[in-house]
Structure 1
């Protein structure tokens, strides 16, 4: 039986280690499983790419959520800032993706730096380094601007075929909303744990979360309808991974509703909110997988 205790107890450390192993396994092996039987050609180093994309998304979500969460925290104790190491993690992941691109393509670094993919990865890496510098200053909110540049570069990178305006805008809003939902909830829960309560902090977050949820649902739906033919839902890796993401999104939605219901009735909303943030991390893993599996039938927005 697992006994309750602080984060540092062996039981919770073991659970965290098992969760990390599970995330690592899905990131490294998920693309191969999703493509089983589809006849699609796998991308080289898809597992490593997925892992680096996951680290990049995580490194963006944490500082975005921290900047936003400070506005909801109000007066009182605040948890140790994680924006600087998270932004540096995102910068390192971008640099790793750039080096991986050089290794896989067989091109020289100077040639890769001149390609659109290479330039955007450089922009992302440099923007994340600048965000870390801003986050460590006396005005950490200034990190919002370079973080916006990094998210914009990622949105452009997701549409290599001339960067169609609508597709890029949809990705930009979707990625920003995902960072706000995951990162801010993570920060709010850290605040509540430190203070041993803080229902008002969660209530302030919940008002923003409703708008963020709407943005995610609308942009995700429109992007899916533009990109995935109905007859390719089960026969392509993209469709299969997307179904998993939709199931997780539905689960996160139910957990968010449960937390809001408990909060409205005066109960403890931290339980479902903690599970919700875990599901959101799983969504980040699946989102990273979607960036490496082949486009369904070669169709891209």
Structure 2
């Protein structure tokens, strides 16, 4: 399958052609900035009228957590889609440049920032002198924070080595540490909660990072039949990932907000409000995914599925930012 472009009108009108992709780049940068503002500005509107006090540094912690989630998604998605690509007969050997080393660096910085918060008693440090590094080894949260820092460091080293596939091991350790951190031992049935978070975070990372890398690969394979085939293969797996993310998300919400009070807490608590926003965003993402899949299977040109798929990956980036905010807000009290 070959693709042709219509002749440019720049020569006829005498105007200078606009650089291809400039508008898209600006739009993506604007959306990235807006996504970064969600965790920074989100706590105050979410807490308004709930009677809950905003903890110091909530915005910064939410931003660090969002960066950590994104840093997990990028390399996990690259490994996932590369595995799918190898299963395609006649797939071109050309691949986009890996972003895994940069993601590992960003994740390392975010994990280091979160570890500094744990080292000061879950408070934002005012100076380096406030950070008790030795205290990290004396608490469960501190050990998990150190595991995440070392996990991203090891993942970065693996990503730049001759065997980048080995980074799945430290990345898996980071996911496990994050799942355990999200459910302290004082919580009701923490192991069940950690198991749900483990599946949720793994599937979400595969979904978000996989779609990003699939679209990048599709652009590199433009003009070949392998590109649409890869996107179709990813779409089939993504349907299962979406189901798993939805199921684990619902179960986790019901554990923290019992069915009898969930409607009230969705509007009366900061956690519930942000969770409701996340649900709406995920529903929109699911609609975009369905639209892309319909185009992929029914349109004469399968590449018409790319615009809704690009919108889907941008929307997923916003979901990641909202998820970072969600983890920084106080969990509602079980009534």
Say yes or no: TM over 0.5. yes
Count of residue pairs the alignment pairs up: 295
2:242 and 2:85 map into 1 onto residues whose CA distance is 20
The aligned residue for residue 39 of structure 2 is 27
2:309 and 2:24 map into 1 onto residues whose CA distance is 18
TM-superposed deviation, 1:79: 0.5
The aligned residue for residue 258 of structure 1 is 291
The aligned residue for residue 223 of structure 1 is 252
The aligned residue for residue 6 of structure 1 is 20
Q: Is 1:284–2:284 an aligned residue pair?
A: no
Q: Which runs of 5+ in 1 are unaligned?
A: none
TM-superposed deviation, 1:152: 0.3
Cα RMSD (Å) of the superposition? 1.8
TM-superposed deviation, 1:195: 1.9
TM-superposed deviation, 1:27: 1.5
TM-superposed deviation, 1:4: 7.2
Q: Is 1:232–2:265 an aligned residue pair?
A: yes
TM-superposed deviation, 1:220: 0.6
Secondary structure of the 1:296 match is coil
TM-score with structure 2 setting the length: 0.84
TM-superposed deviation, 1:17: 3.0
Give yes or no for contact 1:41–1:294 (8 Å, CA) kept in 2: no
Secondary structure of the 2:108 match is helix
- Relative to structure 1, is the Cα distance of residues 93 and 262 closer, same or farther in structure 2, using a 3 angstrom cutoff? same
TM-superposed deviation, 1:206: 1.2
What do residues 238-290 of structure 1 show as CA deviations (whole Å, max 9, x unaligned)?
11001100001100111111111111113421111000111111110111111
Q: Is 1:295–2:296 an aligned residue pair?
A: no
Which of the residues 185, 188, 195 maps onto 2:221?
195
TM-superposed deviation, 1:120: 0.6
TM-superposed deviation, 1:138: 1.9
TM-superposed deviation, 1:15: 2.1
Secondary structure of the 1:233 match is helix
Q: Is 1:134–2:158 an aligned residue pair?
A: yes
Alignment of 1:156-235 (within 5 A): 156-162=180-186, 164-196=190-222, 198-228=227-257, 229-230=261-262, 231-235=264-268
Q: Which runs of 5+ in 2 are unaligned?
A: 1-16, 125-129
TM-superposed deviation, 1:162: 4.2
What do residues 151-203 of structure 1 show as CA deviations (whole Å, max 9, x unaligned)?
00000000123461110000000000110000000000001112225100101
Secondary structure of the 2:50 match is coil
Give yes or no for contact 1:73–1:191 (8 Å, CA) kept in 2: no
